[in-house]
Copies of this chain bind each other. A is one copy, B any other.
Amino acid sequence: MDFINFIGFLAAAGTTVAFIPQVIRSVKTKSTKDISLVMYSLFCIGISLWIIYGIFLNSQPIILANSITLLLAITVLITKFRYG
């Protein structure tokens, strides 16, 4: 893996892993009132479009990173629906 791809890999890992502490916080505190429902709805739509884009480009990294991000973002969205 060359240096540029390594930066891209780190970038994808960072913006994906970032959602794990939010999932943990929302599940643990059962409190999500400060989280924007519109943000996570738009974000899930955007991430789904990234996955479709990755499928068109046949890019495994785009598909993989965004699939994990989508799962995490959907989890936050579910806690938002559940705890308000």
Contact = CB atoms under 8 A, between A and B. Distances in A.
Interface of A: 4, 7-8, 10-22, 24-26, 29, 31-36, 38-40, 42-43, 45-47, 49-50, 52-53, 56-57
Interface of A is mostly: helix
A65 to B, nearest CB: 10
Q: Please tell me how many copies of the chain the complex holds.
A: 2
26 contacts: A4-B56, A7-B53, A7-B56, A8-B49, A8-B50, A11-B47, A11-B53, A13-B46, A14-B43, A14-B46, A14-B47, A15-B42, A15-B50, A17-B42, A18-B38, A18-B39, A18-B46, A21-B38, A21-B42, A22-B36, A24-B36, A25-B34, A25-B36, A31-B33, A33-B34, A34-B35
